[in-house]
Homo-oligomer: A and B are copies of this chain.
Amino acid sequence: MQQFTLINGAPASAVSVLDRGLLYGQGLFETVRVVKGYAPLWSLHLARLVKGMQALGLHSGHDAGLAQVQIETEFLQLLNRPPFCSVDATVRITVTGGEGPRGYRPPAEIAPTRIIQWFARHFVRPDNVIVALCNTRLMPTMFGGLKHCNRLEQIAAAAELGADVFEGLVADSQGNLVEATSANLVCVINDQLVTPPVESCGVAGVMREWLLANVPALTIAPVSVGALETMQAAALVNSNYGVLPIHSVNLRGRAVAFGQHDLMQALVQHASGVFDAKEQS
């Protein structure tokens, strides 16, 4: 099987045309890597999703927590079922504002739509990860850090990329790097392991969060676009491929190669353990 979708707990392939996720982008998502029925970073995914639901007003009063329980139950039951329990997968979980009357004003009772999309995993780790600096700049929003469904900027940045480029790096309007279009960024600068802040206009990825909690050497610090010229090493970080060192960056047509660095190699090693299949408790 290549893909399979549950909507509100039932197999389905389409969403109501009255759904506020479709109409207004009122939704959140998580992209979860699953190793043989086990989702290593699940607790971080669920915590971010719940935080986002509060920020986007997807908790209706007396149902607070119900959608969270339903999502977790449906997701874990799916992973335990053949054939899903034995295949590596990428699962996208989307929660939207559900159906409502026309207009921005949320209905008095919100019934979020829960979408669980299971995709067989086909990720091939590239030999040389080449990235490009995008011209698209991320702008600050009141929903910074969340993985919401308003992603026009990321699409515009990704649309700049040629086929030979694996990912695009994106800066903010001040000229500081924020992240890649679908991954966070970790760099070695002056023998320090740093990742840029993302609260204003990026996504606080769960792999980045796991690294910040488990690798004391990694700290949050601003990284200017100019630092790409001199940084010692850099890597893309997300829950799909862990820590993926960058070989070189295309800076408006000019290639700048990164090196290897002990701190980055240790980080790769540390992170790879996360995705070793484990017995689920």
Contacts and interface: CB of A to CB of B under 8 A. Distances in A.
Interface centre among A25, A29, A154 (most CB of B within 10 A): A25
Contacts of A196: none
Given A14-B16, A15-B22, A57-B155, 6 more contacts: A13-B17, A19-B22, A23-B29, A24-B155, A104-B155, A136-B142
Interface stretch (A34-42, A156-164, A255-263): A156-164
Nearest to A148: B152
B155 A152 contact: no
Contact of A25 (B25, B141, B182): B25
Interface in A132-174: 136-137, 139-143, 148-159, 161
B158 A105 contact: yes
A176 to B, nearest CB: 17
Nearest to A155: B104
A111 interface: no
B152 A56 contact: yes
A221 to B, nearest CB: 24
Size bracket of the A interface = 35 or more
Contact of A151 (B7, B26, B136, B181): B26
A195 interface: no
A115 B22 CA distance: 11
A5 interface: yes
A17 B12 contact: yes
A117 interface: yes
